[in-house]
Structure 1
Amino acid sequence: MSAHTELVSRLRAAWLSGKTRPMEYRVAQLEALGRFLDEKKQDILDATALDMGKPPFEVELSEISICRSELNHTLNNLGTWMKDKHVEKNWATQLDSAFIRKDPYGVVLIIGPWNYPINLLLVPLIGAIAAGNCVVMKPSEISRNVERLVAETLPRYLDKDCFAVVTAGTEETTRLLENKFDYIFFTGSPSVGRIVMTAAAKHLTPVTLELGGKNPCYVSDTCNVQNVARRVAWGRFFNAGQTCVAPDYVLCSLEMQEKLLVALREAITEFYGPNPQESPDFARIVGDKHFQRVQALLRSGRVAIGGQTDAQTRYIAPTVLVDVQQDDPVMQEEIFGPILPILTVTSLDDAIAFINARERPLAIYVFSSCKKVVNQVLEKTSSGGFCANDTIMHMTLTSLPFGGIGQSGLGHYHGHYSFDTFSHPRATLLRGAGREALNTPRYPPYAPRRLPLLRATTETKRRAACTLL
């Protein structure tokens, strides 16, 4: 028996014992996770700085604060979420009890990415714990300092019988996926997502895939250009652009492009100074391989702002490209770096057609002071999420589901949606053992005269239409 198989078997035995089911147990584990965030805060700041030069402010905001918000929201509402949900009944079951029981799946696997290695590992973990599961966590080996921190310290806070951290590269992860899990939650690229889904299919294991995509950002001619530039620049260059929901490219008119370039240059200088390489508030690319890939994308179009690089420190300046063509390399893949291409369109309809001709993205952004423009983009496109007149901020709401569609993902989470993702809605009908005479009409030998009675007591009738005057 391999170490991974033995681990999964041990956790499954713990789950079958019912240990994770009581609310008190779930609350205790969630509170322990909160202590990890509080007591290891400085270690998290140090590890993310070593991995990608991430500014402490960005770590506080995007890693620690979001996790704490998710944790508090879950603790505030867990009792309500766990309650059975009673449902409507037909006439045949009026004397019975019908409800949905939120059952844990069992032993789940969470595979985290490197770009937000705390947030994107712990937020799904919060949902899995809240739902009563045992969990195997696999942090990304690319953000190796955070991986080491999580592997060495997180198990000290959680119940080792029910929760485990596995460190693994590609080959070891492939072997890990050969084991039967009851649910798999993966965050990463579409190419690896297909591998995970293929492995899950062998055991008919349900999955959530949080993938990426090229998120379009349409800027109409009716907007405050300075505000647009600051919000787009913040969303694009936060974490050096290594954000799955970052605006990946801008669509606007040629006239707006000229105004936007001036405003973007001002915003970048305001944020990072005249030389962003010296700014303590601008992160670095996570590794040499990723640096080389992003650097190669600078050859698309023409550099209008930025473009400077330093391979030794994996620095790529906040960069804006113009004269970009649809078939340029920068438009063929998710950028995942501090590069913002601008493509010109002739109209709103042209922008919508451009968006709809491509894979559905994780997010769509639109900037306009005209509500009609915003609503047109919302109604005529499809994406995992949508945000008007800002970027990224929709994912800070625990009340909204976060997830992709099509190429950008499968399933969603955050807040109540995390609890639901890791819970099986178990249909439950509790009938009395007596009153057998009421059941007789449905038994053989069948008599056609009984059919109207059975239909009347079991069929759902359509309500009469009501016209509002």
Structure 2
Amino acid sequence: MSEMELEYKKIVKRQRIFFRTGKTKQIDFRIQALRKLQSEIQKREAEIMEALKKDLNKSNFEAYMTEIGMVLDEIRHCIAHVRKWAKPKKVRTPLAQFPSKSFTIPEPYGVVLIMSPWNYPFQLCIEPLIGALAAGNCAVLKPSAYAAETSKIINTLISACFPKEYVTVIEGGRKENQGLLATEFDYIFFTGGAHVGKLVMEAAAKYLTPVSLELGGKSPCIIEKTADINLAAKRIAFGKFLNSGQTCVAPDYVFVQKEIEEEFLCKMGMWIHKFFGEEPLKNENLPKIINDHHYHRLLSLLEGEDIVIGGKGQENERKIEPTVLKNVLAESSIMKEEIFGPILPVFTYQTIEEVIEYVTGHPKPLACYLFTTNVQIEKKVLKHISFGGGCVNDTIIHLATPYMGFGGVGASGMGSYHGIESFRTFSHTKSIVKKANWLDLPMRYHPYTEKNLKMIRKFLK
């Protein structure tokens, strides 16, 4: 066992000792912790924005809208509701168990590991933590090394909020990830790519540790001829090119009905220019690609493709213009992996059945977006295509609410969080039957008789 693994085991052991004091099970303690986190985030807002600017060139507006603001809203929601969520809940009791009452009690898992990605490095680290704290857990956070500046500010922030035996931040890269995954936790929450997600699940299996995997995939966007084409293009341009396409729920490709293709492409060009100017690479608010590897990977995907809009890169700034492609082949390399960048392939279709057949013939996506005013088309798509979550007549906004869970299905992930779903994710629900002593029906006991079997049959049908 390496020195690093020994150190991580010590960290987890200290957190287990703290957890066993029972402090985190007190609701007032949890609310106090959430308020402390809320206060420190508000106090360090400028520092967080500066870190996001350095890592991804996010503007203050985008940093607040997609990261800081969402986190603060989640904290507010959890503070307002955690007392209710944590209460025992009465449930019905079968007649066969008379006289008794049944109820469930949510309890924290204990010490949880939260591993976060680089694309929304603040939000996707702190949002799961909020749920873990609300549920009464201790936590070890592992921010992404690719977003190094944000990782540093998260460490500083958490150190100012909590003692290490309650919440600890581990900075670093692959070596640190491997060391943490070799350590036994009570729950692992991972956000990132499918390849690493498989490694997380494999490592968790050693200890039978439950996991949530928030992954990704090729999320389709479908535009039907009855849609408001102008508004569809505007909302797709927003969702696709937010954070330069480095969003797990960004539209990965578009299916547009054949007769409206040209109008859609025209409107997309118009909105891209309105959003980013005639020369997007000169726009100071255009986010950059996270590193050289991903920058060159994205440009390589454009080779041989029919570029309608954009297509240029700026290597020294790691920026790529918002780019739209058409006449893309289904077997093209750009359709074999999640793009995760500002490139949007556009396909045409004649009937909605063609789209459903294509999408359902591939791994289940994290998101799906449909633009239509035809209720029958809407019902057909929602019924026949399986995906994590999505929108009708908009993109990506379904994840920006504490009132619905967010998560994937199949290859796009497992588990859900946000709001009460975060509380549930980081809680185990104990089921309790409390039996009365004043009556003890004899039919369940030996010796078994035909008469007792008849009685059992009446109760259990």
TM range (shorter): over 0.9
Q: Indicate the residue corresponding to 1:376 in structure 2.
A: 380
Q: Is the 8 A contact 1:363 1:383 kept in 2?
A: yes
- Kindly state the Cα deviation for residue 223 of structure 1 after the two structures are TM-superposed: 1.8
Match of 1:239 among 235, 243, 261: 243
Structure 1: runs of 5+ lacking an equivalent: 462-469
Q: Is the 8 A contact 2:256 2:349 kept in 1?
A: yes
Q: Is the 8 A contact 1:300 1:330 kept in 2?
A: no
Q: Indicate the residue corresponding to 1:192 in structure 2.
A: 196
Q: How does 1:223-234 map to 2 (within 5 A)?
A: 223-234=227-238
Q: Please list the CA deviations of residues 311-363 of structure 1 after superposition, one character each: whole Å capped at 9, or x if unmatched.
A: 11101000001110011111111111100110122221111111111111000
For the residues of structure 1 that align with 2:211 and 2:49, how far apart are their CA atoms? 31
Q: Please list the CA deviations of residues 288-324 of structure 1 after superposition, one character each: whole Å capped at 9, or x if unmatched.
A: 1111111111115211100111111101000001110
Match of 2:95 among 91, 94, 99: 91
- Kindly state the Cα deviation for residue 455 of structure 1 after the two structures are TM-superposed: 4.2
Q: Please list the CA deviations of residues 131-163 of structure 1 after superposition, one character each: whole Å capped at 9, or x if unmatched.
A: 111111100001000011111232211233211
For the residues of structure 2 that align with 1:300 and 1:98, how far apart are their CA atoms? 64
- Partner of 1:140, secondary structure, is coil
Between 191-200 and 114-123, the greater mean CA deviation after superposition: 114-123
Q: TM-score, normalised by structure 2?
A: 0.97
Match of 2:353 among 331, 349, 368: 349
Tell whether 2:51 aligns with 1:47.
yes
- Partner of 2:112, secondary structure, is strand
Q: Indicate the residue corresponding to 2:455 in structure 1.
A: 453
Tell whether 2:74 aligns with 1:105.
no
- Kindly state the Cα deviation for residue 91 of structure 1 after the two structures are TM-superposed: 2.6
For the residues of structure 2 that align with 1:313 and 1:297, how far apart are their CA atoms? 19
Q: Please list the CA deviations of residues 79-109 of structure 1 after superposition, one character each: whole Å capped at 9, or x if unmatched.
A: 1101111111123434323111001111110
Q: Indicate the residue corresponding to 1:5 in structure 2.
A: 9
Between 273-282 and 47-56, the greater mean CA deviation after superposition: 273-282
For the residues of structure 1 that align with 2:258 and 2:376, how far apart are their CA atoms? 21
- Kindly state the Cα deviation for residue 255 of structure 1 after the two structures are TM-superposed: 2.9
Q: How does 1:358-397 map to 2 (within 5 A)?
A: 358-397=362-401
For the residues of structure 2 that align with 1:161 and 1:95, how far apart are their CA atoms? 44
Q: Is the 8 A contact 1:108 1:133 kept in 2?
A: yes
Distance 1:224 1:92, change over 3 A: closer
Match of 2:344 among 323, 326, 340: 340
Q: How does 1:135-214 map to 2 (within 5 A)?
A: 135-214=139-218
- Kindly state the Cα deviation for residue 445 of structure 1 after the two structures are TM-superposed: 2.3
Match of 1:426 among 427, 430, 447: 430
Q: Please list the CA deviations of residues 408-464 of structure 1 after superposition, one character each: whole Å capped at 9, or x if unmatched.
A: 0011111110000011011112224x33x624332222232222334445x3x5xxx
For the residues of structure 1 that align with 2:152 and 2:348, how far apart are their CA atoms? 45
Tell whether 2:30 aligns with 1:26.
yes
- Kindly state the Cα deviation for residue 272 of structure 1 after the two structures are TM-superposed: 0.9
Q: Indicate the residue corresponding to 2:223 in structure 1.
A: 219
Q: Is the 8 A contact 1:29 1:159 kept in 2?
A: no
Structure 2: runs of 5+ lacking an equivalent: none
Percent of pairs with identical residues: 39
Distance 1:300 1:238, change over 3 A: farther
Q: For residue 106 of structure 2, what is the amino acid of its counterpart?
A: K
Q: Indicate the residue corresponding to 2:331 in structure 1.
A: 327
Q: How does 1:247-258 map to 2 (within 5 A)?
A: 247-258=251-262
Q: How does 1:124-139 map to 2 (within 5 A)?
A: 124-139=128-143
Q: For residue 198 of structure 2, what is the amino acid of its counterpart?
A: R
- Partner of 2:64, secondary structure, is helix
For the residues of structure 2 that align with 1:96 and 1:246, how far apart are their CA atoms? 51
Q: Indicate the residue corresponding to 2:442 in structure 1.
A: 440
Q: Is the 8 A contact 1:300 1:324 kept in 2?
A: no
Q: Indicate the residue corresponding to 1:467 in structure 2.
A: none
Q: For residue 344 of structure 2, what is the amino acid of its counterpart?
A: L
Tell whether 2:19 aligns with 1:15.
yes
Q: TM-score, normalised by structure 1?
A: 0.95
- Structure 1 runs of 4+ aligned residues shifted over 4 Å read none
For the residues of structure 2 that align with 1:192 and 1:275, how far apart are their CA atoms? 36
For the residues of structure 2 that align with 1:356 and 1:85, how far apart are their CA atoms? 39
Tell whether 2:78 aligns with 1:74.
yes
For the residues of structure 2 that align with 1:85 and 1:411, how far apart are their CA atoms? 22
Q: Indicate the residue corresponding to 1:464 in structure 2.
A: none
For the residues of structure 2 that align with 1:314 and 1:91, how far apart are their CA atoms? 67
Q: Is the 8 A contact 1:300 1:321 kept in 2?
A: no
- Partner of 2:207, secondary structure, is coil
Q: Indicate the residue corresponding to 2:40 in structure 1.
A: 36
- Kindly state the Cα deviation for residue 197 of structure 1 after the two structures are TM-superposed: 0.1
For the residues of structure 1 that align with 2:373 and 2:102, how far apart are their CA atoms? 49
